[in-house]
Structure 1
Amino acid sequence: MNDAPHWPAETSEHARLWLAFPTGGYTLGDTAADAHEARQMWADVAAAAADFEPVTVVVDPSQVEVAARYLRDDIDTLVAPLDDAWMRDIGPTWVHGQRGELNAVDWVFNGWGAPAWARWGKDSRIARTVADAAGTPVVSSLLVNEGGAIHTDGEGTVLVTETVQLDRGRNPYASKERVEAELARTLGARKVIWVPRGLTRDYEEFGTRGHVDMVATIPSPGMLLLHAQQDSAHPDFEVTRALRTFFEGQTDASGRSFDIVELPAPGILEDGEGPVDYNYVNHVVVNGGVIACAFGDKAADERAAAILAEAYPGRRVVSLDARPLFARGGGIHCITQQQPAPATSR
């Protein structure tokens, strides 16, 4: 029997998908129109996912009546205090134990490296709250980490980013060796791939400083979907070319080189704040489906949906205009966290 935990791939069977309802601050914005846009966006993602699997949305006590007006009746809710609404980062990371049971890893969350603008006192307790509601024991970790900062192929390969886990605002005394040891203890990581950096926008004031779920994802072992900015006028043109070169030199936990499939960026290069980080990598896989980002670029959106349909055979791709999410700092993957189904004994 293998004593190490097993972190299943996002394509494994889900028991449930979790989200958090927008509560306040920059996520809701300054106007009633901004608040409506945010609430509707989160509700649309929840509804799209609920067509495939059970969905629970964590709702702050102050938002219960508002959430009821936006969320579909077949979506469950859990009332708990929230600062923000990025469930991928504040929720637990579920792993399988020796007998296939679920355990929930509770990372330390400090608002993406303790920036002056962030508030995280309530969000830092959400992983344990969600784990308790799901009836899954908690595995505590002292590593400051977020769900959007890690990714697995389900076979022991884990992607991380040098500028996230080694960020001084997160883990000032960490080394690669210490991080890898903790990921082995909590997730069963056998091979940690240190991605050198993330997208340009992610290093601005409200960014995460390099979350991997804006750059790459592994739809099946040995295959890697990679964001590709194809316009040389965008700063990520050089970034994504360098990332491709990096991944071409990597192997996974089983020693395989990656079959790299590019997901070309949409043609939109800027918004009111500067160069965008619009990407199709930031999708969420659900039972029988994929909830994907769209950006109002019909040709690029359709091309990305076709690539995703081929990468995830047998799953129906549903694309949602994710620009309201990206304007607030993330994408569809960022606001969701999957709870895997229990597995048989290993």
Structure 2
Amino acid sequence: MTFRMPPEWAPHERTWMAWPGPNPTFTTDAELAEARTAWAAVARAVRRFEPVTMVHGPGQGESARALLGPDAELVERELDDAWMRDIGPTFVTDEEGRLTAVDWVFNGWGGQDWARWEHDSKIAGHVADLAGAPVQSSALVNEGGAIHVDGEGTVLLTDTVQLGAGRNPGWTREQVEAEIHAKLGTTKAIWLPHGLSGDYGRYGTQGHVDIVAAFVSPGTVVVHSQQDPAHPDHVRSQAYLEILRGETDAKGRPLEVVEVPAPTVLKDEEGDWADYSYINHYLCNGGVVLCGFDDPHDGIAAGIFRRLFPQRSVTLVDARTIFSAGGGIHCITQQQPRI
């Protein structure tokens, strides 16, 4: 049996999300309320284009319905956190076009001391069951935000995630690639050395690729470009650009690299280096939901994505609250392909 992960721009059946509940990420009632408002704004933006199913923890449905509206599709399951990209399944199709769900091992982004994953490690199976998809289990510790595919055999990975000691100690690069290729139907992996500097803070993922680079069509990749030398990501983004400009995809095509300037803000509200990134967007049927930061570069990024996706409507949603918790719009959404 062979499998293929469709690219994100392929048609979706729906989007899956998880509702924020009390946990170490949202430490106060005010933080939780802000998170719920931010998650709801993303869900409403996506729902303009396709159905959204929100998974919520026991007793949390009323809060979700209050912000999502009476017609929201809600499902109750035990949850630890709210990052559906990482805790949910990676949907693929088999050679007959049937839907299958890859269930990676989830261990709290490398077993971080603040993380809990007793329930989140089971969410992929629950979502697969709700979607009516059989499960392909993997022994690889991995998350949905740590991979990005072009749908034609190429996948982006980062050394500090799949080869990180907290996730897959003892795995070689060749072993990781073999497992990724077997589950996603890819044949070529392009490795970046690390993620953005801010992604290594307390609530960081330790290097997810989906705030660094993403395919937007076969042969074309958007890349985070920090153009201010005062930010440590200036050096990092130059390295990403050099690597990707020197690469070909699985079909042997040189990559077309599109630089997306980072927001102008250099530090977040806590005074740490910001990893604000427009790369962490979400494609849905007829739409692009783009991270906004109330920043002068929001319009520039929106213009780039409008040129890349002229048939789609680009919607900016303020993502600063989501980033303060450790991720972005792509991190809280997970597509289910239409079959």
The answer, yes or no, to whether TM exceeds 0.5 is yes
Aligned to 1:15: 13
8 Å contact from structure 1 (residues 160, 212) kept in 2 = yes
Displacement of 1:228 in angstroms is 0.4
Q: In angstroms, what is the RMSD of aligned CA positions?
A: 1.0
Displacement of 1:273 in angstroms is 3.6
CA distance, structure 2, for counterparts of residue 301 and residue 86 of structure 1: 24
Identity %: 53
Find the partner of 2:56 among 51, 55, 59: 59
1:112 aligns with 2:112: no
1:40 aligns with 2:37: yes
CA distance, structure 2, for counterparts of residue 44 and residue 301 of structure 1: 17
8 Å contact from structure 2 (residues 25, 203) kept in 1 = no
**Counterpart amino acid of 1:71?**
L
8 Å contact from structure 2 (residues 65, 72) kept in 1 = no
8 Å contact from structure 1 (residues 7, 156) kept in 2 = no
Aligned to 2:252: 255
CA distance, structure 2, for counterparts of residue 137 and residue 111 of structure 1: 24
**Mapping of residues 96-135 of structure 1, within 5 Å:** 96-135=93-132
Runs of 4+ more than 6 Å apart: none
CA distance, structure 1, for counterparts of residue 320 and residue 201 of structure 2: 18
8 Å contact from structure 2 (residues 225, 260) kept in 1 = yes
SS in 1 for 2:3: coil
Aligned to 1:206: 203
Displacement of 1:170 in angstroms is 0.5
1:89 aligns with 2:98: no
TM-score normalised by L of structure 2: 0.98
1:227 aligns with 2:224: yes
**Mapping of residues 141-220 of structure 1, within 5 Å:** 141-220=138-217
CA distance, structure 2, for counterparts of residue 240 and residue 34 of structure 1: 31
CA distance, structure 2, for counterparts of residue 39 and residue 204 of structure 1: 22
CA distance, structure 2, for counterparts of residue 23 and residue 183 of structure 1: 31
SS in 1 for 2:297: helix
SS in 2 for 1:58: strand
Compare 203-212 and 254-263 and name the one that shifted more.
203-212
Aligned to 1:321: 318
CA distance, structure 2, for counterparts of residue 10 and residue 112 of structure 1: 23
Aligned to 1:292: 290
CA distance, structure 2, for counterparts of residue 141 and residue 87 of structure 1: 18
**Counterpart amino acid of 1:151?**
H
Displacement of 1:140 in angstroms is 0.5
1:330 aligns with 2:327: yes
CA distance, structure 1, for counterparts of residue 241 and residue 226 of structure 2: 11
Aligned to 2:242: 245
SS in 2 for 1:274: coil
**Counterpart amino acid of 1:199?**
L
8 Å contact from structure 2 (residues 21, 32) kept in 1 = no
**Counterpart amino acid of 2:216?**
P
Describe the superposition over 1:143-191 as per-residue Cα deviations: whole angstroms up to 9, x where unpaired: 0000000010011101110110001110001111111111121111111
CA distance, structure 2, for counterparts of residue 26 and residue 151 of structure 1: 28
Describe the superposition over 1:100-121 as per-residue Cα deviations: whole angstroms up to 9, x where unpaired: 0100000000000001111001
Aligned to 2:274: 276
CA distance, structure 1, for counterparts of residue 263 and residue 71 of structure 2: 33
**Counterpart amino acid of 1:63?**
Q
Aligned to 1:70: 67
8 Å contact from structure 1 (residues 224, 260) kept in 2 = yes
8 Å contact from structure 1 (residues 26, 328) kept in 2 = no
CA distance, structure 1, for counterparts of residue 332 and residue 6 of structure 2: 19
CA distance, structure 2, for counterparts of residue 129 and residue 226 of structure 1: 33
List alignment gaps of at least 5 residues for structure 2.
Answer: none
Displacement of 1:266 in angstroms is 1.0
**Counterpart amino acid of 1:166?**
L
Compare 151-160 and 271-280 and name the one that shifted more.
271-280
**Counterpart amino acid of 1:43?**
A
**Counterpart amino acid of 1:146?**
E
8 Å contact from structure 1 (residues 47, 72) kept in 2 = no
SS in 2 for 1:27: coil
TM-score normalised by L of structure 1: 0.96
CA distance, structure 2, for counterparts of residue 251 and residue 211 of structure 1: 21
Describe the superposition over 1:304-323 as per-residue Cα deviations: whole angstroms up to 9, x where unpaired: 00101111220000001110
